[in-house]
């Protein structure tokens, strides 16, 4: 492995020399093909639809150059599709691209991309490695390179050749829902890891791997208040020296693609707008000619593919979901466009902009030249078709890769507290395994695991997966292990030790973002998390020895939980290999430690429930000071445990005094119910109605003056016959994951606890087509993602085609764990099946 150059301060954007040197023969071949291509063929190479919205016939007709499978999209909609199913699917599209160019005198091979961000995590049976936050704690670049190579082998076994990984963000605010996608808050770790992962994924000479994609360009980890797709407000010097560190090293290591961030960047000293494209003003990275074209392509010298994120062009001023002209002009080479109508519209409007001169021909040629260059560098013209080149499918989840994943778990765990003599536990111990994460594989694997959120997978979806409880049973035997997640029946006194596994539920992206006013206190985020704290209190009262294992995508305020534990281990999101946890908790068969802890914090640990910001001051930036927007309120910035902290079993004991606890508890009195909350049905209702779900990342508003028809839902405003007043809605759910919801237009969420005892959520409904899958009601703030109450049988029991009133006691929502104190969405309907209902007069009221 080549040594990684040290991270240095860059007073200006540096020119980066890539490990993949320009090849004159490749350049000549590219230019020869480019001269022969029609405008339609060129634009086809610039569009990347996803599997659910693309057919082989589309590839032939539009000369599409690549496709992807998003999280939760599988061949035939089967989440347990085999490697052979994947190979057949990819091969069909490859053959369609081949046939599209027959008779043209040249050919352009097809590429297939996937989000393999912690292993080949979208494919059933693949190895699931720890998320990046855990790998960063391991401080082992060689481990990263090995994981990258193993992941590439599994990707190749399914016929694919491009992964949207690694993520090389430098997260600075713990509220961000993608925090766990970062290796560390210090750019030095990110700098070293990015290069190692790129080398592992792509292979030393682009001959043994697949195309890597470093993402998301740039500063998505520095958004104000941790807002997902928010705005980083900082000088360009900090963008360059904190947030671009992984991009500079990744490009030097030979990364062949860069994905641009959904987020925005604002620097008062340097904003960009494009005079030749009108006066549109863009902070969005996808519209930033300065950062995409001038910096990334120009000053840095990146000559690979710059690709958009999923439909991200639609958020750029001057663009729509069906018109990416401004983003293309800014420098985006390949557009990841989800919906079928949308990508066809992008193809059409791009050709129109080319004809009218709004997009210069040279800009289109630059984009296609980069696509062809990358495909040639990976030898796709000489490679066999996917059906012939795919490796042995047994490589997915093979023992060698699972052992590597288990090793990664061992190396990533950080011991934050240890009373001498607590660990390692004897294998003869009688062990009580408790806590909400004791036997929950979803808490271990987190988001981006088979599905987008990862919160709906089962044990059967992850063959061979081991929870911590499974691993304890395997270590001490069934007779010596009791599993009772919420301590409902087990007697702590009958056990020698309690292993308490607690942690966050799975989430991804905005579904994991904590609102600016939210708490970082683990026990304050969800009722089930508060039950974990109560379990620890009960165990302490019983005099139990307690070892706590914390599963989390970010450091959270857990001081009371730590004080109640004899040992406290940050296990992050370790994946499927629970044995990697017990390797450290338990002694070797012959006694003595089997392995010692070696993980070190990649992120400082918060001292208070309001310590949102990173603490590490990057040492390579002369004179750097933590800016005010990165500091916790009231200057509370000293961490409980600093960056780099991590105990070893033999470390001398520290003072046994309790750590200082923050009074984070919310003592706000429960407000009385303040009358009806009119959500739909009155002309002056303040709520905005929106649609979300698969392929609707921009969450379109429902128009009450016309039809709103997107991939997942068709919404038509209507007047209810014989009933005066406000609007009603005719909603058709089309069979994709979809939700329709009412949201407060602005301001803090409402406190609706006053309705908890005697309130009802009431609405009138006419069922025209009964739900074909679970149809759920929810109310929530964005994070934590709230549970849904299944209304399927209630709706199916209503008289078909006739209006009826459904009244759901608010107490039912409370019993399933809904947070009534922070509600900015008082009404949401969610289903993954088909249904058609008419909806009117939605309100909260007291019974």
C-beta of residue 463 within 8 angstroms of C-beta of residue 397: yes
Contacts of 91 (CB under 8 A, 6+ apart): 159, 385, 386, 387
Tokens of 606: 């918060």
Say how far apart CA 686 and CA 680 lie, in whole Å.
9
The closest alpha carbon to 200, from 189, 188, 212, belongs to 212
Alpha helices in 158-302 (DSSP H): 187-202, 236-238, 245-252, 289
Tokens of 359: 């997009």
DSSP conformational letter for 641:
B
- Select which of 91, 185, 309, 566 is catalytic: 309
Whole-angstrom CA distances from 38 to 96, 107, 122 are 18, 13, 35
Establish whether 309 is a catalytic residue. yes
Beta strand 264-266 pairing with 47-48: unpaired
Say how far apart CA 210 and CA 800 lie, in whole Å.
53
Size of the chain in residues: 847
C-beta of residue 460 within 8 angstroms of C-beta of residue 510: no
331 alpha-carbon distance from chain centroid: 25
Beta strands in 78-139 (DSSP E): 111-114
Say how far apart CA 167 and CA 243 lie, in whole Å.
12
Tokens of 90: 């990819």
Contacts of 701 (CB under 8 A, 6+ apart): 688, 689, 690, 708
Q: Taking the alpha carbons of 502, 458, 178, 139 in that order, is the dihedral positive or negative?
A: positive
At residue 773, the 3 state secondary structure works out as coil
Contacts of 632 (CB under 8 A, 6+ apart): 606, 608, 610, 611, 612, 613
Task: To the nearest 10°, report the CA torsion of 680, 682, 684, 689.
Answer: 20
Contacts of 811 (CB under 8 A, 6+ apart): 756, 757, 759
Say how far apart CA 524 and CA 513 lie, in whole Å.
15
Contacts of 344 (CB under 8 A, 6+ apart): 62
The CA angle 479-482-488, to the nearest 5 degrees, is 150
Angle between helices 340-356 and 361-377 (to 10 degrees): 130
C-beta of residue 592 within 8 angstroms of C-beta of residue 610: no
Contacts of 375 (CB under 8 A, 6+ apart): 108, 109, 111, 381
DSSP conformational letter for 226:
G
Whole-angstrom CA distances from 805 to 4, 19, 673, 750 are 66, 66, 22, 25
DSSP conformational letter for 449:
B
Contacts of 581 (CB under 8 A, 6+ apart): 409, 413, 468, 471, 549, 569, 571, 574
Tokens of 338: 């989800």
C-beta of residue 211 within 8 angstroms of C-beta of residue 374: yes
Beta strands in 504-603 (DSSP E): 546-551, 567-572
Beta strands in 338-413 (DSSP E): none
- Select which of 504, 509, 560, 819 is catalytic: 509
Tokens of 373: 């260059």
Establish whether 474 is a catalytic residue. no
Instruction: Please list the active-site residues.
Output: 309, 509
């Amino acid at each position: 492995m080549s040594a990684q150059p040290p991270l240095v301060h860059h007073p200006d954007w540096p020119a980066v020399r890539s490990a993949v040197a320009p090849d004159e023969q490749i350049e000549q071949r590219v230019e020869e093909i480019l001269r022969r291509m029609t405008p339609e063929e060129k634009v086809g190479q610039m569009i990347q639809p996803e599997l659910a919205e693309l057919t082989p016939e589309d590839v032939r007709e539009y000369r599409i150059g690549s496709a992807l499978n998003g999280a939760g999209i599988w061949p035939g909609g089967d989440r347990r599709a085999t490697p052979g199913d994947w190979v057949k699917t990819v091969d069909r599209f490859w053959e369609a691209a081949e046939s599209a160019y027959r008779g043209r005198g040249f050919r352009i091979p097809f590429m297939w991309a996937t989000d393999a961000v912690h292993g080949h995590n979208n494919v059933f049976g693949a190895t699931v490695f720890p998320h990046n936050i855990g790998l960063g704690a391991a401080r082992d670049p060689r481990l990263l390179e090995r994981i990258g190579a193993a992941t590439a082998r599994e990707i190749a076994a399914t016929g694919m050749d491009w992964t949207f990984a690694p993520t090389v963000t430098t997260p600075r605010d713990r509220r961000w829902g993608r925090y766990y996608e970062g290796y560390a808050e210090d750019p030095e770790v990110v700098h070293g890891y990015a290069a190692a992962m790129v080398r592992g994924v792509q292979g030393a000479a682009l001959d043994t791997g697949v195309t890597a994609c470093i993402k998301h360009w740039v500063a998505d980890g520095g958004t104000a208040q941790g807002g997902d797709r928010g705005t980083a407000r900082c000088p360009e010097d900090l963008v360059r020296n904190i947030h671009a560190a992984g991009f500079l090293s990744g490009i030097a290591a030979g990364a062949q693609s860069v994905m641009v961030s959904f987020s925005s960047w604002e620097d008062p000293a340097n904003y960009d707008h494009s005079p030749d494209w009108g006066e549109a003003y863009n902070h969005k990275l996808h519209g930033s000619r300065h950062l995409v074209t001038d910096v990334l392509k120009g000053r840095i010298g990146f000559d690979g593919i710059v690709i958009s994120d999923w439909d991200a062009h639609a958020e750029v001023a001057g663009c729509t979901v069906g018109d990416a002209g401004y983003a293309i002009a800014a420098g985006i080479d390949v557009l990841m466009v989800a919906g079928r109508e949308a990508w066809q519209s992008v193809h059409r409007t791009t050709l129109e902009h080319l004809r009218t001169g709004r997009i210069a021909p040279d800009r289109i040629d630059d984009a296609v030249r980069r696509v062809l260059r990358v495909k040639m560098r990976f030898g796709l013209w000489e490679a066999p078709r996917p059906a012939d080149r795919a490796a042995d499918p047994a490589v997915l989840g093979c023992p060698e890769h699972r052992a590597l994943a288990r090793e990664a778990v061992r190396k990533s765990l950080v011991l934050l507290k240890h009373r001498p003599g607590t660990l390692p536990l004897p294998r003869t111990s009688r062990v009580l395994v408790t806590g909400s994460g004791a036997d929950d594989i979803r808490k271990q694997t987190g988001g981006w695991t088979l599905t987008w959120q990862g919160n709906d997978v089962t044990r059967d979806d992850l063959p061979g997966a081991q929870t911590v409880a499974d691993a304890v049973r395997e270590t001490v035997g069934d007779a010596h292990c009791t599993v009772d997640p919420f301590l409902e029946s087990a007697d702590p006194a009958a056990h020698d030790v309690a292993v308490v596994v607690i942690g966050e539920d799975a989430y991804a992206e905005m579904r994991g973002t904590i609102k600016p006013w939210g708490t970082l206190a683990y026990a304050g985020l969800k009722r089930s998390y508060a039950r974990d704290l109560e379990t620890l209190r009960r165990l302490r009262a019983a005099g139990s020895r307690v070892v706590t294992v914390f599963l989390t995508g970010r450091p959270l305020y857990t001081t009371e939980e730590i004080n109640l534990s004899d040992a406290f281990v940050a296990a992050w999101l370790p994946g499927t290999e629970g044995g990697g946890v017990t390797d450290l908790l338990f002694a070797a068969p012959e006694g003595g430690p089997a392995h010692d802890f070696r993980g070190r914090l990649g992120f400082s640990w918060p001292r208070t429930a309001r310590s949102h910001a990173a603490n590490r001051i990057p040492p390579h930036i002369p004179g750097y000071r933590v800016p005010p927007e990165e500091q916790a309120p009231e200057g509370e910035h000293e961490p409980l445990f600093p960056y780099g902290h991590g105990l070893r079993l033999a470390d001398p004991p520290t003072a046994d005094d309790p750590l200082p606890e923050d009074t984070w508890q919310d003592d706000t009195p429960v407000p009385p119910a303040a009358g009806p909350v009119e959500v739909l049905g009155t002309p002056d209702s303040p709520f905005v109605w929106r649609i979300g779900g698969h392929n609707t990342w921009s969450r379109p508003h429902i128009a009450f003056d016309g039809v709103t028809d997107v991939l997942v839902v068709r919404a038509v405003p209507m007047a209810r016959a014989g009933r005066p007043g406000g609007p009603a809605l005719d909603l058709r759910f089309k069979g994709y994951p979809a939700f329709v919801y009412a949201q407060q237009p602005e301001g803090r969420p409402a406190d609706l606890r006053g309705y908890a005892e005697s309130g009802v959520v009431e609405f009138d409904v006419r069922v025209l087509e009964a739900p074909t899958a679970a149809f759920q009601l929810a109310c929530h703030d964005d994070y934590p993602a709230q549970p849904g109450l299944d209304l399927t049988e209630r709706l199916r029991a209503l008289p078909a085609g006739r209006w009826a009133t459904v009244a759901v006691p608010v107490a039912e929502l409370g019993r399933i764990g809904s947070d009534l104190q922070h509600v900015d969405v008082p009404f949401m309907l969610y289903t993954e099946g088909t249904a058609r209902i008419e909806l009117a007069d939605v309100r909260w009221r007291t019974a």
